[in-house]
Amino acid sequence: MDAVEKTRIVVENVSKFFTSNLGRVQALKEVSFCAEEGEFVAILGPSGCGKSTLLNMIAGLETHDQGIIDVSVENVNQPERHRMMMFQESALFPWYNVIQNVMYGLRFKKGLKRADYTDVALYYLSLVSLKKYAYSRIYQLSGGMKQRVALARALAPNPQILLMDEPFSALDAVTCEQLYKDVQRIWRSQHKTILLVTHNIREAVVLAQKIIVLSPHPGRVIREIKVDLPYPRNLHDTAVSDLTYQITAILNQKSL
């Protein structure tokens, strides 16, 4: 199997339904796109369009009702160690310190001896600029630092695919801007395939190579946009602002 097949994500005509007190509700409608090896893809759409549900299905945490989701040309039906998830909240264990939280994820890394856990965890903490906080308690960290620890924990098992579900939505603007720079740097050095779910248009433009734009409920793909801007990107670049404006117009038109 070649390298592209190992990490290529294919979503084809995927639909999802939920049952509520209003009856059967469609969350996603015939969604199709792909993410190539090492590609940074943002799934962008308004609240309630099903984008987090879509990411959960790619992670194997939820099932889809129609269509196909393939990773490594294999159908996704459960979580796998080569796909790691980073959530909106840091979801760290408060009874563990920072390095223990990062080492927890190393249980999923095959062939790694427990004696090597500390060195590997320290490497990834260094990658997110938190090495000196390795033995701090979780309650001692700011919100941005907690998300850095969550990022280190997700990267530590060396997954092929990193799935990010609005990981910056609860953070202040200054912290977000710094994390955008960090994520760009880490992605460019680690060459992971990344899928980012966000409702923040400028965030998608700053980070992604390709943006999958979903319609309001039920979510369906209304546009696939290639972001041909050089890295590293800055929130305040004119080109970033221009593309953000164009995508905003697309979403406003579709929500009328």
Report the pLDDT averaged over residues 126-146: 94
Per residue in 10-66, pLDDT (tens digit) is: 999 999 998 877 788 899 999 999 999 999 999 999 888 999 999 999 998 999 999
Structural domains of the chain ordered from first start: 38-82+160-256 (3.40.50.300), 92-158 (no CATH)
Quick one: tokens of 18? Answer: 């939920």
Query: Cβ neighbours of residue 36 under 8 Å, at least 6 residues apart?
Result: 4, 7, 8, 193
User: DSSP class of residue 230?
Assistant: P
Per residue in 171-228, pLDDT (tens digit) is: 899 999 999 999 999 999 989 999 999 999 999 999 999 999 999 888 999 999 999 9
Per residue in 116-130, pLDDT (tens digit) is: 889 999 999 999 999
Q: How far apart are CA 225 and CA 137, in angstroms?
A: 42
Q: How confident is the model at residue 3 (pLDDT cuts 50, 70, 90)?
A: very low
Q: How confident is the model at residue 94 (pLDDT cuts 50, 70, 90)?
A: very high
Q: How far apart are CA 54 and CA 64, in angstroms?
A: 8
Using DSSP's 3-state secondary structure scheme, residue 34 falls into strand
| Strands 66-71 vs 40-44: parallel, antiparallel or unpaired | unpaired
Q: How confident is the model at residue 78 (pLDDT cuts 50, 70, 90)?
A: low
Q: How many CA atoms lie within 13 A of 86 on its CB side?
A: 28
Reported pTM: 0.90
Distance, C-alpha 19 to centroid of its chain: 27
- Judge whether 232 and 185 are in contact, CB under 8 Å: yes
Q: Torsion-angle region of residue 23: left (phi > 0), alpha (psi -120 to 50) or beta?
A: left
Share of the chain above pLDDT 70, in %: 93
Q: Taking the CA atoms of the chain, what radius of gyration do you get in angstroms?
A: 18
Q: How confident is the model at residue 105 (pLDDT cuts 50, 70, 90)?
A: confident
Q: How far apart are CA 20 and CA 25, in angstroms?
A: 7
- Judge whether 27 and 218 are in contact, CB under 8 Å: yes
Which pLDDT score is estimated for 2?
Answer: 40
